[in-house]
Amino acid sequence: MNSKREKGSSIVRVLEILEAIAKADRPMSPTDLAYELDIPKATAHRLVQTLEAEGYVQTNLRGNLMVADRLNRLSMGALQNNHFKTERRILLENLAATTGETCGISLPDGTEMIYYDRVQANWPLQVYLPIGSRVPMYCTSGGKLYLSQMPSAQLKRMIPKVELVQRARQTITDHNQLLEELELTRKRGIALDNEEFIDGMVACSVPIKLNGRMLASLFCHAPVIRQSIEDMEAMAPKLLETAAEIENLLVAAQ
């Protein structure tokens, strides 16, 4: 019986550690976890080492903990359950029908955004980025939106270390200019991609939040032959409305 209780306690502690890391607004140390969850430091370190070895968490350069690929895949799998997926797809299809352009959801993963879901526009000419595509943060609307949520001090430390590769004719390759763009994005609450990732493509993204934190971005993109960057910005209210409906689904699924 003691063995069963200890095993059950360890499982609960592991789940609590994963939940704490996923919800934290900053990377946590094993000591932080031990204090917050009221567990022995040695136990916190041991369980964290196991989670890191199994690919659920990873440490940054300061030795603090972050979500790793395996936990990201677990989260994405949970979001793909049939009930949530059906309702989410209906919302995306309605949004694509209203805007007349491709709409979708992207998730942050390290220094990239992953195309998690999308509904393609019904046009002969369209930009095709399949589900699962990985795109850089610094030159995409969803990525810039995610970066803009970070504290200014953190961005000022981080952005100068990012290699800004010229992806398209209007990619921002100056670090100071990118910092200014991210501050503007923070103030406006939406992000724009004005031919910064792909020549001839413009995009707009708004945040999907859960418990006050940005979980994903809801985007719409289109070729410039049909939509200008001003047109994309004008779609923001409809995007925000749909994002709020998706957030309600997430809250209901908790």
Q: What is the pLDDT of residue 37?
A: 87
pTM of the model: 0.74
As a residue count, the chain comes to: 254
Residue 175 has pLDDT above 80, yes or no: yes
Q: Domain 80-253 has what CATH class? A: alpha beta
Average pLDDT of the chain to the nearest whole number: 85
Q: What is the pLDDT of residue 5?
A: 39
Residues of the chain above pLDDT 90, percent: 45
Cα distance from N-terminal residue to C-terminal residue, the chain: 32
* Residue 102 and residue 130 in contact, taking contact as beta carbons nearer than 8 Å: no
Domain chopping of the chain, boundaries: 2-68, 80-253
Buried b (16+ CB within 10 A) or exposed e, 83-97: ebeebbeebbeebbe
Tell me the CATH architecture of domain 2-68: Orthogonal Bundle (1.10)
Q: What is the pLDDT of residue 80?
A: 57
In the structure, what pLDDT confidence band is assigned to residue 55 with cuts at 50, 70 and 90?
Answer: confident
Task: Name the residue with higher pLDDT: 48 or 227.
Answer: 227
Tell me the two tokens of residue 146: 């995610």
Span 63-120, pLDDT tens digits:
777 776 666 666 656 555 556 778 888 999 999 999 999 999 998 877 889 888 889 8
* Residue 104 and residue 116 in contact, taking contact as beta carbons nearer than 8 Å: yes
